């Protein structure tokens, strides 16, 4: 049986960053991914735009290799991103196990001894001293018994799901690219379509993004509320109901939106986009006040993270009214928020770290998740190659490596706008 220093489960933005970084730090690293390619929401979810920022060197390298500025946005081609991630993994020497779904964690006391994964109808047992859960939904942590809060603390509602799609045939000389709070007339028109039954509720907002390929646009307008991304029946329902909205929305674009008169459906995402599920208990739960205060934690592993509170409406369409006022603060994320409570060898990375519903609305974006992966990768490599517990890793050493070898910057208290 192969022996690894670090096993990363889930190859989204966080898991890919974690695996590349751990391997570059000298750890024999395996990345387990259920799809036939990596990238998670950034590829399978047909995402095309980086939101927010962090000083992650991994994010900077990916952005430089794949991204162009269109209007005010940094957009990329998800097909090119798939290749970019794979070449980074290969170059770093990460071993890959694709088409392999995490099944169970074999826990003894406070330690995960091994994990079982299902691939091609067979169960494989994989052993390592350190595991990183970057599955987005925290399947490893959940199975290993780490406690969690589902969604919003008050009512456990989670952010809506959306199936992303792209359209071609966009006339860029006339096209508009609305987001929340902009182009109110189009927003009202969309609501008319929903009210008259031409588009299924709870779709109802207009978000269009400049495509990486000229003449295309990315459409973030399907919407389903009161669904749970950790319930397979809800996931199935979400795929069906959002897919039903796609042709309805294309018709709306053709009939109502300047520049989209001749647009056509080009591609839909491979999978429904799940924004929020479980917030696990770590050694520290990052909260919204930490973000607003630009807290610089002594044990920071992500620096200069920045994004607004991007909660979509949990009970309808559009933005959630509970989003806090944000004026561009940069913040840090502590190592403690990545340390799964009650276990000595599991790190959390990506949208499943320890944080509140509101803090998650900010740190869930891809450049920040990549920063978490990078921090987790360094810590896991130090613990995995030295045979020490994750809690025994000195955060100052993680920070030194992040700054010296990964190109991460020292945290700064800077307002971005
Ligand atoms: C509709 C939508 C729009 C968004 N828009 C933007 C945007 O414009 N810009 C932005 O920056 N962010 C955006 N986000 C947020 C961002 O894309 C996600 O929060 C981010 O991708 C989370 O990264 P992650 O690595 O934690 O998880 P994910 O991207 O979810 O990756 C998790 C990975 O784990 C794998 N996995 C899951 N379960 C298993 C298992 N059992 N076994 C093996 N592998 C498994 C998955 O296949 C996947 O590859 C959006 C999210 C959604 C859903």
Phi and psi angles of residue 334, each rounded to the nearest 5 degrees, phi first: -80, 155
Quote the pLDDT of residue 178.
95
Supply 390's token pair. 């994750």
Tens digits of per-residue pLDDT, 373-405?
999 999 999 999 999 999 999 999 999 999 999
Q: What CATH number was assigned to the domain covering residues 6-152+276-405?
A: 3.50.50.60
Rg of the chain (C-alpha set): 21
Q: Is the pLDDT of residue 413 over 90?
A: no
Q: Is the pLDDT of residue 35 over 70?
A: yes
Question: Angle at the Cα of 239 (from 238 to 241), degrees rounded to 5?
Answer: 65
Quote the pLDDT of residue 256.
98
Q: How far is the CA of 223 from the centre of ligand 1 (A)?
A: 17
Q: Round to whole Å and give the CA distance between 97 and 101.
A: 9
Q: How far is the CA of 189 from the centre of ligand 1 (A)?
A: 31
- The residue-averaged pLDDT of 48-58 equals 98
Q: Round to whole Å and give the CA distance between 141 and 283.
A: 14
Quote the pLDDT of residue 415.
65
Quote the pLDDT of residue 208.
98
Q: How far is the CA of 8 from the centre of ligand 1 (A)?
A: 15
Quote the pLDDT of residue 416.
58
Q: Round to whole Å and give the CA distance between 63 and 51.
A: 12
Domain boundaries, the chain: 6-152+276-405, 165-268
Pocket test for ligand 1, best of 136, 138, 220, 373 (most atoms within 8 A of CB): 136
Q: Round to whole Å and give the CA distance between 165 and 160.
A: 16
* Alpha-carbon torsion, ordered 41, 43, 45, 48, to 10 deg: 100
Q: Is 63 near ligand 1, meaning CB less than 6 Å away?
A: no
Tens digits of per-residue pLDDT, 193-241?
999 999 999 999 999 999 999 999 999 999 999 999 999 999 999 999 9
Q: At what angle do helices 13-24 and 57-66 cross, to 10 degrees?
A: 110
Supply 92's token pair. 């770093």
Tens digits of per-residue pLDDT, 276-302?
999 999 999 999 999 999 999 999 999
Q: Is the pLDDT of residue 417 over 60?
A: no
Residue with tokens 């599955």: 135
Q: What does the DSSP assignment read for 240-306?
A: HHHHHHHHHHHHHHHHHSTT-TT-EEEEE-SSPBP---EEE-BSS-B-HHHHHTT---TTEEEEEEB
Q: What does the DSSP assignment read for 292-304?
A: HTT---TTEEEEE
Three-state SS at 167 = strand
**Segment among 138-147, 324-333, 334-343, 407-416 with least mean pLDDT:** 407-416
Q: How far is the CA of 15 from the centre of ligand 1 (A)?
A: 10
**Strand pairing category for 73-76 and 67-70:** antiparallel
Q: Round to whole Å and give the CA distance between 177 and 170.
A: 11
Q: Is 45 near ligand 1, meaning CB less than 6 Å away?
A: yes
């Amino acid at each position: 049986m192969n022996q690894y220093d670090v096993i990363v489960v889930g190859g989204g933005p966080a898991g890919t960053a974690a695996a590349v970084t751990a391997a570059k730090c000298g750890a024999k690293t395996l990345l387990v991914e259920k799809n036939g390619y990596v990238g998670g929401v950034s590829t399978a979810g047909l995402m095309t735009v980086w939101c927010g920022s962090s000083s992650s060197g991994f994010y900077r390298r990916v952005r430089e290799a794949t991204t162009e500025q269109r209007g005010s946005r940094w957009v990329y081609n998800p097909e090119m991103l798939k290749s970019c991630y794979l070449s980074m993994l290969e170059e770093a020497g990460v071993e890959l196990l694709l088409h392999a779904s995490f099944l169970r964690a074999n826990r003894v006391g406070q330690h995960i001894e091994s994990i079982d994964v299902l691939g091609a109808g067979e169960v494989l047992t994989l052993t390592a001293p350190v595991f990183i859960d970057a599955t987005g939904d925290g399947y490893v942590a959940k199975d290993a018994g780490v406690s969690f809060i589902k969604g919003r603390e008050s009512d456990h509602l989670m952010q809506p799901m959306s199936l992303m799609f792209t359209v071609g045939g966009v006339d860029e000389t006339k096209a508009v690219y609305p987001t929340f709070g902009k182009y109110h007339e189009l927003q009202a028109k969309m609501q008319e379509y929903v009210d008259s039954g031409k588009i299924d509720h709870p779709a109802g907002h207009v978000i269009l993004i400049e495509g990486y390929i000229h003449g295309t646009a990315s459409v973030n307008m399907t919407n389903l509320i009161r669904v749970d991304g950790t319930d397979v029946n809800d996931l199935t329902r979400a795929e069906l109901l959002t897919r039903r909205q796609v042709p309805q929305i294309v018709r709306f674009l053709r009939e109502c939106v300047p520049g989209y008169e001749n647009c056509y459906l080009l591609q839909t995402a491979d999978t429904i986009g799940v924004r929020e599920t479980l917030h696990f208990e770590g050694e520290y739960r990052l909260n919204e006040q930490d973000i607003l205060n630009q807290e610089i934690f002594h044990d920071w592993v992500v620096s200069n993270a920045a994004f607004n509170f991007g909660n979509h409406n949990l009970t309808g369409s559009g933005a959630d009214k509970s989003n806090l006022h944000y004026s561009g603060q940069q913040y840090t994320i502590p190592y403690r928020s990545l340390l799964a409570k009650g276990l000595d060898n599991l790190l959390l990375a990506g949208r499943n770290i320890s944080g509140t519903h509101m803090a998650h609305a900010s740190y869930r974006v891809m450049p920040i998740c990549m920063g978490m992966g990078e921090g987790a990768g360094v810590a896991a490599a130090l613990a995995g190659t030295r045979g020490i517990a994750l809690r025994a890793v000195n955060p100052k050493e993680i920070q030194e490596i992040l700054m010296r070898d990964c190109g991460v910057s020292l945290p700064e208290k800077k307002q971005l706008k």
